[in-house]
Amino acid sequence: MLELSDIHKTFYAGTPNEVRSLRGVSLSMQQGSFVNVIGTNGSGKSTLLNAVAGTFLVDTGRIVLGSEDITRQPEHRRARRIGRVFQNPFSGSAPTMTIAENLALASRRGLSRGIGWSLSRSLREEIADRIRTLKMGLENRLDNPIGSLSGGQRQAITLLMATWVKPDLLLLDEHTAALDPRSADQVIRLTHEIVTRDQLTTLMVTHSMQQAVHLGDRILMMHQGHIVADLSGPEKARARAEDLLSRFDALRHRDQLTPAVRDLLELSYV
């Protein structure tokens, strides 16, 4: 379904601030698979998702979604087929517009937006029905501005918006990281429900080893712009949070060693 081949992305290339965020990432995802991405801070997880979503164009490599090469497509074109939920609960919805208006916007993702009325009576009813499935009591507050909701409620609605029109690919970037534990649980449960119900192909970045272990059918571990581990099948099923953590420690340990060695070399050569 999603095919990444040898993706490179460098920010501020050729300046002292150069960051090589993705250094040759290849990935093949099957239709209906749910892939978790974990990794150290700054390892390029968000950059990977942004590359797929089209926030920027990649330096080299190819991105194919379904049968379409989307490598050079602008972000809004890709968004017709890709649903997204961001880490920041404020990013996914328009705060001064009402719940109903936000969902009305989402109901036209990838479809034409003519000069027909945006909120018909039947659409309102459908919105109320779908909001009811969140079990947050929001169906009575359809005309409240989204800005008046809590972060968890907003994330739940953003998830609904991203999946209202069934996307070919769902991108979740630490979408529970900014929430309190209870809301995070709620949103994760909702994610699980929607993804299994609609059999969505999902790429989820998470900071929580628990989520990575319990959800999905595959775990990617990223480090310094590379995919350093790829667990699937029985390997994924056997994975424990502690194993993943100890792998992180190993990576960190190696990092600490490298600068020291570099210093040593510098001392002896300069």
Partner 1 sequence: MVLLISAFNFGLIFAFLALGVYISFRIFHFPDITADGSFAFGGAATTAMLVSGWGPMVATGVGFLAGMLAGATTGILHTRFRIHGLLSGILVMTALYSVNLHVLGKSNVTLSEASTLNKTWTAIVKKVVGDVERVDILGWMVGIQDLASLLLMVLLMMVVGSTLFCFLNTKFGTAMRGSGDNPQMILAMGVSDKLLLTFGLALANGLTALSGSLLVQYQEFADVQMGIGMVVWGLASVIIGESLVGESRFGLLIAGAILGSVLFRMMIAIALRCGLNPNDLKIITAFFVFVALVAPQWSRKRKTRLLVAKARVAGNA
Ligand X SMILES: Nc1ncnc2c1ncn2[C@@H]1O[C@H](COP(=O)(O)OP(=O)(O)OP(=O)(O)O)[C@@H](O)[C@H]1O
Q: Which residues bind Mg ion (CB under 5 A)?
A: 46
> Please, what is the minimum distance in Å from the beta carbon of residue 161 to partner 1?
7
- The entry of ligand X, Mg ion, partner 1, none that residue 39 binds, CB within 5 to 8 Å by partner kind: ligand X
* Binding to ligand X in span 24-63, by CB under 6 A: 39, 41-47
Task: Name which of 120 and 210 has its Cβ closer to partner 1.
Answer: 120
Task: Name which of 58 and 162 has its Cβ closer to partner 1.
Answer: 162
DSSP secondary structure string for all residues of 15-62: STT-EEEEEEEEEEE-TT-EEEEEESTTSSHHHHHHHHHTSS--SEEE
Residue whose token pair is 């920010």: 11
Q: Which residues contact 261 (CB under 8 A, 6 or more apart)?
A: none
> Please, what is the minimum distance in Å from the beta carbon of residue 230 to partner 1?
28
One-letter amino acid of 221: M
| Torsional class of 216: left (φ above 0), alpha (ψ -120 to 50), beta (otherwise) | left
Helix (H, G, I), strand (E, B) or coil at 204: strand
Task: Name which of 33 and 47 has its Cβ closer to ligand X.
Answer: 47
* DSSP code for 145: B
> Please, what is the minimum distance in Å from the beta carbon of residue 253 to ligand X?
19
Binding site for partner 1 (CB under 8 A): 53, 74-77, 79-80, 83-84, 86, 90-97, 101-102, 104-106, 108-110, 113-119, 161-162
